[in-house]
Chains A and B, each alone.
Chain A
Amino acid sequence: MSRSDAGAEGGGDADQVPSIARRVVSPFVDRSVAERLLISVAAILLSIVVGFVIVLVSGRIAQCSTAAWTMPLTGIGFCYDPVEVYLVLFNGALGYPFAVGEPGLFNPNWTPFNLSLGLTLSETTLLIFTGLSVAVAFRAGLFNIGTQGQLVVGALATALTVLAAAPFLPEGPVAGVVLIVVGTLAGAAGGGFWGAIPGALKAYADANEVITTIMLNFIAANIAYVLVLEVFRAEGSSVVATQYVPEHAQYLPWVFPESSDFALLALLVGLGFIVGLYYLVEHTSFGYDLRTSGVQAAAAEYGGVNAKATTVRAMTLSGAIGGVGGSVWVLMSEGRWMASVPALGFDGITVSILAGNNPLGVLPAAFLFGLLKGGALEIGFRTDVPTQLVGVLRGLIILFVAMPEFFRMAGRYVGVGSTGPGGPGGSASTSEGTDDEATAVGGGEADA
Chain B
Amino acid sequence: MRNPLADVTVPILDDLIESDYVRSLIVGTVGVLGALLVLGALFPDSVAGDLSGIVFSASTASSTARLAAPIVLAGLGGIFAEKSGVINIGLEGLLIISAFASVYVASVVGIGNAVLGVPAIWVGFLAGIAASTALSGVFGIVCIEFKADQIIAGLAVWLIALGLAPFMSTVFFGGVNTPNLGASVGWEYSAVMVIAATIASWWALNRTAFGKHLRAAGENPKALDTVGVSVSKVRHAGVLLSGVLSGVGGSALALSIGQFVGSGETMVQGKGFIAIVAYLFGNYNPVGTLGAGVLFAGLDAVQIRLQQLGYAVPDTLVQTIPYVVVIVVLALVGRTQLPEAAGEHYETED
Contact = CB atoms under 8 A, between A and B. Distances in A.
A210 B151 contact: yes
A208 interface: yes
A196 B46 CA distance: 41
Most-contacted residue by chain B among A143, A395, A409 (CB, 10 A) = A395
Nearest to A230: B314
A442 B336 CA distance: 31
Interface string B272-290: 0100110010000000000
Contacts of B170: 386, 388
Given A218-B320, A402-B148, A402-B149, A392 B336 contact: no
A392 B163 contact: yes
B148 A391 contact: no
A62 interface: yes
Interface stretch (A161-169, A219-227, A244-252, A290-298): A219-227
B342 A386 contact: no
A350 B316 CA distance: 28
B12 to A, nearest CB: 32
A214 B273 contact: yes
Contacts of A7: 344
Contacts of B320: 218-219, 222-223
B148 A403 contact: yes
Contacts of A41: none
Say what secondary structure dominates the interface of chain B. helix
Interface string B320-341: 1001101100111011101010
B160 interface: yes
Nearest to B164: A392
Nearest to B176: A388
Contacts of B142: 399, 402-403, 406
A218 B323 contact: yes
Contacts of B194: none
Given A23-B343, A396-B156, A212 B149 contact: no
A427 interface: no
B244 to A, nearest CB: 21
Nearest to A339: B316
B314 A205 contact: no
Given A219-B324, A394-B159, A396-B160, A27 B149 contact: yes
A330 interface: no
B152 to A, nearest CB: 4
Contacts of A214: 273, 276
Nearest to A392: B163
B147 interface: yes
Interface string A1-19: 0111001100000000110
Contacts of B179: none
Contacts of B340: 18
B153 interface: yes
A97 B142 CA distance: 38
Nearest to B161: A395
A208 B330 contact: yes
Of B157, B159, B317, most buried by chain A (CB within 10 Å of CB) is B159
B155 interface: yes
Given A18-B340, A225-B316, A58 B149 contact: no
B334 A205 contact: yes
B172 to A, nearest CB: 7
Nearest to B276: A211
A62 B172 contact: yes
A212 B330 CA distance: 8
Contacts of B163: 388-395
Interface in B147-192: 147-153, 155-164, 166-168, 170-172, 176
A401 interface: yes
B316 to A, nearest CB: 5
B167 A389 contact: yes
Contacts of A28: 149
Interface string A193-236: 00000000100011110111011101100110110011000000
B148 A405 contact: yes
Interface in A394-434: 394-396, 398-399, 401-403, 405-406, 409
Given A218-B320, A395-B159, A143 B326 contact: no
A353 interface: yes
A4 B335 contact: no
19 contacts: A4-B346, A24-B151, A62-B172, A214-B276, A215-B324, A215-B326, A386-B167, A386-B170, A388-B163, A388-B166, A391-B166, A395-B156, A395-B164, A396-B156, A398-B156, A402-B142, A402-B153, A403-B147, A406-B142
Which 10 pairs show the lowest CB-CB distances between chains A and B?
A391-B163, A395-B160, A395-B159, A386-B170, A399-B156, A388-B167, A403-B148, A392-B163, A207-B330, A402-B152
Interface of B: 87, 89, 142, 146-153, 155-164, 166-168, 170-172, 176, 270, 273, 276-277, 280, 314, 316-317, 319-320, 323-324, 326-327, 330-332, 334-336, 338, 340, 342-347
